[in-house]
Amino acid sequence: MFTIIGGDGKEYGPVPASQVNAWISNGRANLQSKAKKHGDDETWKTLSDFPEFSPDAVVLPPPLANEAAILPVPVGPRALVNELLAYAPKLNIGACLSRGWDLWMNHFGRLLLAYLVLIPIWVALSFVQINSLPIATMLFGGVFWAGMYRYTLKLLHGEPATITDLFAGFSEAPGALILAGMAIAFFIMTFAFLISAGFLFCIVPALYFIIAWTFTYPLILEKKLAFVPAMEVSRRVITRNWWRMLVLMLAAALLSLIGITALFIGLILTLPISLCVLACAYDSLFNPKNNL
């Protein structure tokens, strides 16, 4: 296992030699990059000093095209944030709206079917309350949102997507998604209470965190993060593009409002557009190598 120092001066790893070779093949490292081998003397050397990466070593073939496009996930949320901040460009609002619209137009029927499956479930969950609290929605809302992102991202990447993807969170990360949903719901209710009690200064921090935590659920499901690291990774990466995210979310909300004015049928037709736009924003920020 090796840890290397990237071009940004930060450490990445530990990862196996095959991953380092993949980074070399992708131009993200070279034989002069500093590295140390775990379990050895663990002194910093250049990669060329290790027999695994010497010019005479057998170089593993680069990853397949669909694998090379995916940003390797460094070990730990802090390394992931550093990696994302190093590669992610500024969020392009126009590109997200354009890609989201194209995604909706190209997969209109499949996205509509997904919503027709989920809307009755959401309505049923909303009726399960304890002391006027929508406890079922708080518990399982994040699980279903993660599934919708999984389904939409698969369509965006041209991968096979099925209705079962909507329920992937229940099998892959139920605990983290439920905890994240409860934490975010508790935060929103707390700030709503404070604002209603006259503490209007709470509006700004509440708005900041609500937007900053937008991608908590897909990060849990797609990047396999625990709920607290997922919230922090989402916050740190979005903070760099917070105002752009605000404008993008307002534009997505406007599309949904158009659906509301067209009554229920219009709402069903336009809700997928909003998620398509946000899925494209997530892809831009958290899979930046897909968009180079």
Three-class DSSP labels, 101-154: HHHHHHCHHHHHHHHHHHHHHHHHHHCCCECCECHHHHHHHHHHHHHHHHHHHH
Supply the pLDDT for residue 243: 94
Q: Please write the tens of the pLDDT for every residue from 184-204.
A: 989 988 888 888 888 888 899
Residue of 76, 71, 86 lying closest to 233 (CA atoms):
76
Q: Rounded to whole angstroms, how far apart are CA atoms 24 and 31?
A: 8
Q: Please write the tens of the pLDDT for every residue from 102-117.
A: 998 899 889 989 988 9
Supply the pLDDT for residue 281: 94
In the block, tokens 């993060």 appear at 225
Q: Is the pLDDT of residue 149 over 70?
A: yes
pTM of the model: 0.70
- Average pLDDT of the chain is 81
Q: Please write the tens of the pLDDT for every residue from 201-233.
A: 889 999 999 999 999 999 999 888 889 989 999
Supply the pLDDT for residue 144: 94
Residue type, 59: V
Supply the pLDDT for residue 74: 45
Q: Please write the tens of the pLDDT for every residue from 62-76.
A: 444 444 334 444 446
Q: Rounded to whole angstroms, how far apart are CA atoms 164 and 161?
A: 8
Q: What integer is the mean pLDDT of 172-190?
A: 92
The reply to whether omega before 51 is within 30° of 0 (cis) is no
C-beta of residue 3 within 8 angstroms of C-beta of residue 18 = no
Q: Please write the tens of the pLDDT for every residue from 233-278.
A: 999 889 989 999 999 988 887 776 665 555 555 555 666 888 899 9
Q: Indicate the range of 43-52, 73-82, 112-121, 149-158 predicted with least confidence.
A: 73-82
